[in-house]
Amino acid sequence: MPYKILHNWVIMGLSVFVILTGCTSLSLVKNPAVKPVVSEELPSGNGWWQVWFRMNWPPETEPVWHLDLYLAHQVIMPVLEKHKNDIHLWRFHRRAKRDRAGRRFTFWFYTTPAAAQKIVGTLRSDPIVINCLAAGLIDEVLYDTPTKIKRPDIEDTSDKNWPAVIQKTWPYYIDGVSQMWLNLVAQVADQDMADRRPESLEEIDRFYSRVNETVTQLWQRNGRHAFMHHLNAVFGYQPLIYWEKRMMKF
């Protein structure tokens, strides 16, 4: 049968179907049985808290990024496991800029003041943190005071320049990104620790430097497809305006 005739028969068939079924055909499109979690559905009485490590960064030197991996793996990961039922969302933020804030590794988490107080107390007394402060690897550790919630809304730590809908949904995205990064660090480190765990600060420094190199290589060699391509696929392969002001696809 010629394509044009077949096309006409298909259109006629669909028209008859709509006429016979009437509005009942709209029932074929239903609301999802399980709706995505949104900020309004999170338990009340929670807020955002942060613990930020101001890392030592002498003038005219490169940032020592691999110490972030050490803190994430050995300090933050046990806290996340211990308080997994209390922390609803969390993320890492890493930065190095020659300004007042300087070189920081920050742990953000969304929970109640009571849970935040326990988490802050655990991090204050963590022996790894204490040793890094004593060795001069960390200049200071700063905390939000876990008494009064100052950031109750899910979007309170998102970029205010973004559209409101992105501000409200971005915390879920960066939570997943942070989880994957931490799991990469943990798996690489645990594999390398199979024979012998580093003990001295010098051994730990060299060890996590190697872990950082491996994770960086995984990102550089696989990031385009494993991360960027599949993120682009979620958005239907639509190009975006990159910082260079040109359209890109991944």
What number is the average pLDDT over the span 190-201?
87
The Cα 132–Cα 141 span in angstroms is: 10
Question: Bigger pLDDT: 246 or 176?
Answer: 176
Q: Where are the domains of the chain?
A: 45-143, 164-248
State the pLDDT confidence band at 22, using cuts at 50, 70 and 90: very low
Nearby residues of 212 by Cβ (< 8 Å), 6 or more positions away: 65, 66, 69
Residue 54: pLDDT over 60 = yes
- 100: helix, coil or strand? coil
Top-tier CATH class for 45-143: alpha beta
What number is the average pLDDT over the span 182-202?
91
The Cα 221–Cα 39 span in angstroms is: 36
What pLDDT, on the 0 to 100 scale, is given for residue 243? 78
9-13, 48-52, 113-117, 137-141: segment of lowest average pLDDT: 9-13
Question: Bigger pLDDT: 216 or 240?
Answer: 216
What pLDDT, on the 0 to 100 scale, is given for residue 6? 40
Contact 142, 54 (CB under 8 A): yes
How buried is residue 106: exposed, middle or buried, by Cβ count under 10 Å (0-12/13-18/19+)?
A: middle
